[in-house]
Amino acid sequence: MRLAGKVALISGGARGQGAAEARLFVQEGAAVVIGDILDDEGMQLEAEIRELGGQATFVHLDVTDADQWADAVTEAVNRYGKLDILVNNAGIGSTNIGGVNAPRIHEAPAEVWDQIMDVNGKGVFLGSRAAIPAMRTAGGGSIVNISSIAGLVGLGPGSGAGSAYASSKGAVRLLTKATAVQYAGENIRCNSVHPGFIDTAMTARTMADPEQRQRRIDATPIGRIGTVDDIANGVLFLASDEASFMTGSELVIDGGYTAQ
């Protein structure tokens, strides 16, 4: 029970990595508020966790909306008494909004830039801004921001990460460090996680092409695509008190991709 007595809020928690984190956090003793724009999937996950005897609540949360963030934090505090952990997990790539996969700059519409930055960048800022007052009241907390390998190195055409996505994930990496130094004195830690190529709905369309999938496997020294559980285990560690001397750091979970 590595999160016994903790209360967590996970954005984009209805499916993919966020859902894996919600399930794992509950197994480790946390109560979890799942925020997402996918209401049906979120309510199904809430029901699944409750049927197994866990504590979970779904709230509709569009991470670009400051009022919905305020409501999600209020829900956590009213229902479970406090907020200890925030996972800023929600994110989109260009394919989520019907765009070309990983466009280069000269091909990328400005509105796609705005939408991706809004969700992946501003969404993390708004989430942290909403959660930090509750964490200060609780006497501390842990924020885990999901960035990407695309927030560490430039990925070429065909990699799945376009210019807006890379820029947004780079912003998440440094917002994490700013948050870490601003709140270290108040026992609030903030770290980023950098997944490599992971099988989720976000990447399903690309991964369905055997050639594209194999190219990603070949580029990953460990020789496979990552799973949502590979990421959830790292997020769990950073969320827990086991990581109490870690803040502003980057946990890279990429099968060795960025080690090359």
Which tokens sit at 205? 């369309």
At its nearest, how many Å lie between ligand NAP and the CB of residue 40? 11
Given the rule CB under 6 A, which residues bind ligand NAP?
A: 11-12, 14-18, 36-38, 61-64, 89-92, 96, 119, 146, 148, 195, 197-198, 200-203
Rank residues 15 and 23 by Cβ distance to ligand NAP and give the closer one. 15
Rank residues 148 and 247 by Cβ distance to ligand NAP and give the closer one. 148
Establish whether 257 is a catalytic residue: no
| The dihedral formed by the CA atoms of 240, 256, 99 and 59, expressed in degrees to the nearest 10 | -10
Rank residues 88 and 240 by Cβ distance to ligand NAP and give the closer one. 88
Question: Among the options 80, 165, 183, 257, which is catalytic?
Answer: 165
Reduced 3-state DSSP string for 155-196: CCCCCCCCHHHHHHHHHHHHHHHHHHHHHHHHCEEEEEEEEC
At its nearest, how many Å lie between ligand NAP and the CB of residue 186? 26
At its nearest, how many Å lie between ligand NAP and the CB of residue 5? 26
Chain-centroid distance, C-alpha 68: 17
Q: Residue 50: which region, alpha, beta or left (left: phi > 0; alpha: psi -120 to 50)?
A: alpha
Catalytic residue list: 165
